[in-house]
Amino acid sequence: MRIAMIGTGYVGLVSGACFSDFGHEVVCVDKDERKIAALHANVMPIYEPGLAELVAANVRAGRLSFTTDLAEGVKDADAVFIAVGTPSRRGDGHADLSYVFAAAREIAENLTKPAVIVTKSTVPVGTGDEVERIIAEVAPDSGAKVVSNPEFLREGAAISDFKRPDRVIVGTDDEDARQVMREVYRPLSLNQSAPVLFVGRRTAELTKYAANAFLAVKITFINEIADLCEQVGGDVQEVARGIGLDNRIGRKFLNAGPGYGGSCFPKDTLALLKTADDNDTPLRIVEATVQANDSRKRAMGRKVIKAMGGEVRGKTVAVLGLTFKPNTDDMRDAPSLAVIQTLQDAGATVRAYDPEGVEQARPLLNDVAFADSAYAAIDGADALVIVTEWDEFRALDLGRIARTLKTPLLVDLRNIYPPAEAARAGLTLVGVGRD
């Protein structure tokens, strides 16, 4: 099939590359000329393991191409995916749908045959109705069908998630559109554990938000249990293991830490709350989750200050991990931002290292010294804080760290290291949810 992917951000580029790897002919469209020029040179605008190799292979095979010309991309397409950004709108927190609607209008102006218009961007309930209205207004005789197909990709594991998904959600009541989407995802048919679930369009739109909100609740719940564990002498990792073995609960997203961040959970929970408010249906649990998570990030900074004796003015803190999670360069709403700001507000000097996120972090962090390696960041610091659990931080030489730090203090906000191991190396370890 011929597929047009409008937008070469995280979702669009990964989806387009994976569709082409399935054997479809894919044209990725973006108005940013620099981004398209970079993609022609196989320079990725994002860090995602395996993406550059996947793109290069399919460009060589002639299945994947890039252009700034939407008319060229849409020409003769069987399916046109809208994968543009939907950031939180300034002022009210609603999802900003201006890019989606602009894309829909331009697509309608350039359709050369009946096509399925697929909203891949994360959008509030009812967005598909407006996209459909725009298409009908601009190209009333196009025969286009509008479908919702939300993405469920984890940064750092996006290619695997796309090719081996838990499920594919397609929102449409039109049988012709269903047939096209079946053909689009037919390469997944051998994976019996990855069903294509057809639902109503509004149901599909809501499913995406509901999934992210539920995971955000799960993360926030275990973080609050971690706080209780510290007060009563429990171990949150053992609690998480104990409840996670219950298959009604599951083990995933039960790792206590400094709070969630990234491009999805903060934005999507806020957008869901706005939709609920607009429909006079308060979501109190999600509301409490957002508030608790926002508070937690600075609380982790105060935790570091307390571990350092309550006074950090004039001291240097080494921070390992800046991105909101490992295997990405995404700094959006990363907990490190609030942790570092809290330390700086208290007078500390911060020296930081991240394997991939430094260039994204530079414009967001003032007066931070960026190191070239973990050990360079640690050298001579008064304390070490691990904020993001990159693999290269999982096997650090703790003895070397104890000898290098001015004060042998490790604040492990991801509970990577067992207390006994740290103690043997001569380090004082402060974790999350452990006394």
Give Cα 92 to chain centroid, integer Å.
Answer: 22
Active site residue 229: no
**Beta bridge partners of residue 27, listed in sequence order:** 4, 65
Render 374-413 in DSSP notation, one character per residue.
Answer: HHHHHTT-SEEEE-S--GGGTT--HHHHHHHSSS-EEEET
Quote helix, strand, coil % in the chain, to nearest 5. Answer: 45, 15, 40
**Token pair for 420:** 């006994």
The amino acid sitting at 356 is E
- Strand ranges for 222-380 from DSSP E: 316-320, 349-353, 368-370
The amino acid sitting at 50 is G
Q: Are 257 and 218 in contact (CB under 8 A)?
A: no
Classified as helix, coil or strand, 232 is: helix
Q: How far is CA 307 from CA 74, 394, 427, in A?
A: 57, 21, 13
- Token pair 């040179």 in the structure block, residue: 41
Residues 57 and 405: their CA atoms lie apart, in Å, by: 46
Of residues 18, 28, 229, 264, which has the active-site annotation? Answer: 264
Residues 232 and 217: their CA atoms lie apart, in Å, by: 23
Q: How far is CA 330 from CA 9, 34, 262, 308, 357, in A?
A: 12, 19, 7, 29, 7
User: What residues are annotated to the active site?
Assistant: 264
